[in-house]
Structure 1
Amino acid sequence: MFVNFIALILHYRIYNLLKKHDLLKRYSPEDVITHLERVYMLKIGDDWRISEIPKKTNDIIEALEIPIMQKSGS
């Protein structure tokens, strides 16, 4: 029951982000979740890094102004 409550809160936070950025006609909250499932954290040595983000997923992240930090390699 508690997990359902947390899932509902996250669903409506995504819904409100889509509404705020006027993207409800293009994406549903389920679409956003599906695209964000493709972002992984990788442990390389002692460092945690974000995996390569697909272009469409990155477009959604930028459109919704989601703060995902990506370290650049040196």
Structure 2
Amino acid sequence: MNGVTYLTTDELSARIRYTPATIRNQLKDNVLIEGKHYIRPFGGRKILFLWEPIEVDMKLGSTDSVAMPVAIE
């Protein structure tokens, strides 16, 4: 085994608490990148998500500071 955890959309949904539809329609290709966060085994339509890179990027996102615009009167 190569140390990568492969997850279906439903399994990923249970781990990150997003619905499968949200993963497919909003996260895939906007946040989750093919080849980094998910693969299509054997060139097919089925998608398998790679847990470890997703987990790393989720943690990075939570430590980034986001600047909030301040209204000056």
TM-score by length of structure 1 reads 0.31
Larger helix percent: 1
Which structure: larger Rg? 2
